[in-house]
Structure 1
Amino acid sequence: MPELPEVEGVVRMLKPQVEGKTIQRVIVSNTIQQSKEAGKECIIKGLQTNAFIEQVTGMKIERIERHAKYIFFTVIKDNKKQLLVNHLGMSGAWFYVKHPDDVTEAKFHRHMHVQLQLGEDEWLIYADIRRFGELRLLNNQTEYPPLLLMAPEPFAQEALPYFLEKCALKKYQNKAIKAVIMDGHIVSGCGNIYATEALFKQKISPGRKVSQLSKQQLIQLFEEIVAVLTESIAFGGSSISDYRNINGEAGSMQTRLQMYGMKKCPMCHTNTEQEIIAGRNSFYCPNCQK
């Protein structure tokens, strides 16, 4: 699943290419249309296919921003501003191309679900292999309450005090620390990959309870999360499986990971172990991480 660094990379590349452009045409895949006809929600949430096409066509993309793992497109049409909110899910990707055929990687080309034509030779395409991603057209954030529950950006000054305050709550004290730092209500944008890396660097077992960590350990762990997120942004994110940037290129952070997916600890060469925490496979070194 794309995490904060991957989403940040997409936003940084999209901004200079599509901000200020007008969506001239919208094409939605048969998969989405058939899903809607069957009464199911697939990628386009809260609107029927025809309504989505009608409303989005003619919208000008004023601004693109990242909030946690979400992409916010501020759009305007007939002097009315709205938000087109996107979550990449497990395998979503945006492509900025001259023609849809320029999405050459077969697994993405087969799953181009929303195509936005911005000009004669200019397309913004959302592809999603597993179809867990979503697009929501909102008048404001209050129309989708989960957006209001996100923790502060990890780089914000208030993020650390917020994290410590949450960790002190009774309902989190007996939870595994990894489950807590992957919770977007507590730490914004930190998923399985970067939680694994931060815990390894701080020598903390992913299953250790929050109550077993001192305030100083929690502070150092949070600072490590920020450091690893910052490093990943600089290296274009991690392309473990399906992440691509808008040019179809993979990131390189996966070559710098020390624990995620590893069979042996790079420090002591002990065989790593795995544990399912919060539904995710957690790699750790039983010798180094306590």
Structure 2
Amino acid sequence: MPELPEVENVRKSLLQLVKGKTIQSVEAGWPKIIKHPLEVEQFYDALSGQTIHDLQRKGKFLVFMLDDYSLVSHLRMEGHYSVNQSEDPTDKHTHVNFKFTDGTEMRYRDVRKFGTMHLFKKGTEDNELPLSKLGPEPFSPACSADYLKSHFQKTERIIKAVLLDQTIVAGLGNIYADEVLYKAKVHPERKAKSLTDEEIQRLRHEMVHTLEDSIAAGGSSVNTYMNSMGLSGSYQDRLKVYGRNGEACIQCGTILEKIKAAGRGTHFCPACQQPS
């Protein structure tokens, strides 16, 4: 699943391709991707004649800012946007097609069909699901050490599960949760409430810097990820633990391990990340 750095790079690349374009019509070959409004014809009618003025990101969500509406899109596992000429062939995995008045098309392709789209009146999107339950991003001043500590103290869950909880911190997924915990020297199965103030400060620092570094590198091209211009990221070449189980830790030489934590494959160094 694309995480915050990958979605940010999709945002930046796609904005260059669609800003200022006006939607002539929309076709959905798999209408279940459209979650709001419930009637797909309302979705079509509302978007007809709307111009894309901006493309924002909130956590892992893309938010297209139109004349009168905000289109909230989640890529899930393998969602991908591209801009094509109308005469370009369309494959069977292209499920939503936004046709522009200039003869180009923005196509949403999704092999697994897990992606979602919600259309809201502009300015109301933050008060509606799915955005209304998002926690702050690590970059936000609201995501302070005190904020994290207050949420850690309220739960019996392990820290890996808490970092994946988008209602607490928006944007982290499995790859960057593992990387952040390794850099902060925190074991993924530690109870969140057991973290010290110093560990929480390290965790917050590493969240910000790891995500910033990945954004600058174009994200991590693990599995099928690429941006809307078809370019891959390079941060996967800098990953310290994710996907490296069985290899030596770059800090201490201990063999990295992989376990299942919070229901996800989790990579860590048993020497650098002590369980207590």
- Residue 99 (structure 1) shift: 4.2
Query: 1:44 maps to what in 2?
Result: 34
Query: 2:150 maps to what in 1?
Result: 165
Contact 2:244/2:256, CA 8 A, preserved across alignment: yes
Moved more, 272-281 or 181-190: 272-281
SS of the equivalent of 1:61 reads coil
Contact 1:100/1:125, CA 8 A, preserved across alignment: no
Is 1:57 equivalent to 2:44 in the alignment? Answer: no
- RMSD between aligned alpha carbons? 1.9
Query: 1:279 maps to what in 2?
Result: 263
Q: Which amino acid aligns with 1:204?
A: V
Is 1:111 equivalent to 2:74 in the alignment? Answer: no
Give me the whole-angstrom Cα distance separating, in 1, the residues matched to 2:132 and 2:115.
19
Match runs of 1:247-266 below 5 Å: 247-263=229-245, 264=247, 265-266=249-250
Moved more, 252-261 or 91-100: 91-100
The one of 150, 158, 174 equivalent to 2:134 is 150
Query: 1:74 maps to what in 2?
Result: 65
What's the % identity of the aligned pairs? 38
Query: 2:253 maps to what in 1?
Result: 269
Give me the whole-angstrom Cα distance separating, in 2, the residues matched to 1:222 and 1:142.
24
1:2-61 CA-partner distances (Å, limit 9, x unpaired): 0111111111122232222111122222xx15xxxxxxxx21113333332222222111
Structure 2 vs 1, CA of residues 147 and 128 (structure 1 numbering), >3 Å: closer, same or farther? same
Q: Which amino acid aligns with 1:60?
A: T
Give me the whole-angstrom Cα distance separating, in 2, the residues matched to 1:188 and 1:194.
12
Query: 1:38 maps to what in 2?
Result: none
Structure 2 vs 1, CA of residues 102 and 270 (structure 1 numbering), >3 Å: closer, same or farther? farther
SS of the equivalent of 1:24 reads strand
Give me the whole-angstrom Cα distance separating, in 1, the residues matched to 2:180 and 2:149.
16
Query: 2:178 maps to what in 1?
Result: 196
Match runs of 1:204-283 below 5 Å: 204-263=186-245, 264=247, 265-283=249-267
Give me the whole-angstrom Cα distance separating, in 1, the residues matched to 2:87 and 2:81.
12
The one of 101, 125, 131 equivalent to 1:141 is 125
Aligned length: 268
Give me the whole-angstrom Cα distance separating, in 2, the residues matched to 1:102 and 1:157.
46
Contact 2:14/2:229, CA 8 A, preserved across alignment: no
Query: 2:113 maps to what in 1?
Result: 131
Give me the whole-angstrom Cα distance separating, in 2, the residues matched to 1:100 and 1:15.
22
Gaps of 5+ in 1: 34-41, 104-108
Moved more, 226-235 or 91-100: 91-100
- Residue 248 (structure 1) shift: 1.6
Higher share in helix: 1
Q: Which amino acid aligns with 1:201?
A: K
Gaps of 5+ in 2: none
SS of the equivalent of 2:168 reads coil
Moved more, 231-240 or 122-131: 122-131
Moved more, 110-119 or 214-223: 110-119
Give me the whole-angstrom Cα distance separating, in 2, the residues matched to 1:195 and 1:261.
13
1:145-184 CA-partner distances (Å, limit 9, x unpaired): 3412211222122211322221232xx2x21111111111
Give me the whole-angstrom Cα distance separating, in 2, the residues matched to 1:111 and 1:277.
32
- Residue 133 (structure 1) shift: 0.9
Give me the whole-angstrom Cα distance separating, in 1, the residues matched to 2:142 and 2:27.
41
Contact 1:3/1:189, CA 8 A, preserved across alignment: yes
Query: 2:272 maps to what in 1?
Result: 288
Contact 2:178/2:242, CA 8 A, preserved across alignment: yes
